[in-house]
Amino acid sequence: MSTEWGALCGLFPIDDITISWWSDRARMIASARSGAEPLASAASRAERAQQLVAELAAAPLEADPGASYAKRFRVDLGSLSPLITGGNTLKSASAAGAERTKIHKAWLVSCVNARASDIAAAAKELRGRKVAPWVEFYVAAASSEVQADAELAGDWEVLVDAGAIVLPPGCGACAGLGAGTIRAGEVGIAATNRNFKGRMGSPLGIVHLASPSVVAASAAEGHIVPPSGVRAAGFDAARCVASLGSSEAEATSGPAQAQGLVDGFPRELAGELLWCGADNISTDGIYHGRHMYEDLSDEEMADVAMENYDPEFRGIARACGKPILASGRNFGTGSSREQAAQCLKHLGVASLLAGSYSATYTRNALNNGLPLFESPGLTRFLQERFGSGTEAAIGRPTVRTGLTAHLDLAAWEVRLVDTVGAEAGVFPLVPLGPAAQELIACGGLEPWIRAELLK
């Protein structure tokens, strides 16, 4: 889940066990097996996979000698206990069962934690037991092949006999689609990977994340509990994770470094400043996943912009004309979807300002020609003046600040002016490089490509 850390990708060293598994898998996809017939492309895909296995075995993926790191951690896996995150956030973890929380729904679904081994772990908890009468326990295998394997092992039958509600493999409740979504006032626990407010249904429901074992045990108990034989324990992050040093520097602690402007890139931008003060506003908050399966016009996309974060946002933004939207840190976290940038552009947002962004969101915004800039100092100022919070808990999610933001991009700074023309503050912007500037100057990646092809 490297995107949650703001990364475009994550690379991991692999060992002989991984290489062996991949080699076996390459042979399997070209063979007939229970529940799955080989695709027409299976043979060529298997051949390519074997080539990659051979290349990785000959030159294993590993960090360069002398590589530097922002932070280094050593994790004591032996000290970890079953945890839950939430509700409605990935940033808060606690021991499973530390509090006796009643649940209404449980999910063992999605491509993430509904593998054959996950289903087996859930079956171990539910063998000979029943799901609590007030709990709806939804199960969907990660693929038809996984379901076939679980059926052959007998684990699938255990879940069904316990009272699980079977859903077909594929995207569903995890993305707020189809049967089994969370309703207002309900509490649920899911073995999925994201639980942003409203992602799995109503924004007035609460979703926690946990392992398949915890989800299954909780479904039977009707409350969040650890797996059988595991005593609820306090979570001491300092005991489990030891920091081995860090090297952090804020890019804007001093004057912005000189950075020229490419032709066509705006020298100035201005607009009424809107403040959405939560940190970690997710792409589900900006543009809900259910709309990904709808064919919406530009106007219709604008109509649903930020609706999951704040249903009042659209009206406030339109009253401002072409506002400049400011937010907290890690704006655009979560699933990578370019519609989360497009909907704000269609709504008329002139530019984004934030303490930081998810790297995937930055790329999607630039590819769609939506100007965005980092200014941690501005974020701190607005937090102190207008408040802050999280996507799931904030008093005023959207604030019409009464300030006008003037972006002087030649100087890489933003100046705030109040309604009587008095200066409220000047803050540095992190300069954009020439490649990012070109994308904004052209209106996005597709216009840039067309222009390049004409050269």
Cα four-point dihedral sign 213, 191, 101, 231: positive
Q: Report the alpha-carbon distance of residue 338 to residue 447 in Å, rounded.
A: 16
Report angle CA 145, 151, 155 to the nearest 5 degrees.
120
Which position has the higher pLDDT, 196 or 384? 384
Cα four-point dihedral sign 356, 357, 359, 363: negative
* pLDDT for position 386: 96
* pLDDT for position 175: 80
* pLDDT for position 325: 98
What confidence tens digit (pLDDT) does each residue in 412-422 have? 999 999 999 99
Given a cut of 90, whether residue 173 has pLDDT beyond it is no
First-to-last C-alpha distance (Å) of the chain: 40
Rounded mean pLDDT, 275-282: 95
* pLDDT for position 407: 98
* pLDDT for position 221: 96
Cα four-point dihedral sign 20, 25, 30, 35: positive
Q: Report the alpha-carbon distance of residue 244 to residue 260 in Å, rounded.
A: 38
What confidence tens digit (pLDDT) does each residue in 203-259 have? 899 999 999 999 999 999 999 999 988 876 665 555 555 555 544 334 444 444 567
Q: Report the range out of 184-188, 233-237, 392-396 with the highest average pLDDT.
A: 184-188
What confidence tens digit (pLDDT) does each residue in 336-380 have? 899 999 999 999 999 999 999 998 999 999 999 999 999 999 999
Given a cut of 60, whether residue 141 has pLDDT beyond it is yes
* pLDDT for position 31: 79
Q: Report the alpha-carbon distance of residue 266 to residue 256 in Å, rounded.
A: 18
* pLDDT for position 372: 97
Number of C-beta neighbours around residue 1 at 10 A: 11
35 confidence band (pLDDT: 50, 70, 90): low
* pLDDT for position 257: 56
Nearest Cα neighbor of 146 from 23, 46, 36, 31 is 36
What confidence tens digit (pLDDT) does each residue in 282-323 have? 999 999 988 988 899 999 999 999 999 999 999 999 999 999
Flag the least confident range among 84-88, 91-95, 378-382, 423-427.
Answer: 91-95
Determine if the pTM surpasses 0.85.
no
Q: Give yes or no for a contact between 335 and 283, defined as CB atoms under 8 angstroms apart.
A: yes
Taking each continuous run of H as one helix and of E as one strand, the counts in the chain are 15, 18
The whole-chain average pLDDT of the chain stands at 89
Given a cut of 60, whether residue 79 has pLDDT beyond it is yes
Q: Give yes or no for a contact between 254 and 412, defined as CB atoms under 8 angstroms apart.
A: no
Q: Report the alpha-carbon distance of residue 307 to residue 176 in Å, rounded.
A: 14
1 confidence band (pLDDT: 50, 70, 90): low
In sequence order, what E strands does 115-210 have?
Answer: 136-139, 165-166, 187-190, 206-209
> Which residues are paired to 428 by β-bridges?
413
What share of the chain in percent tops pLDDT 70?
Answer: 92
* pLDDT for position 90: 80
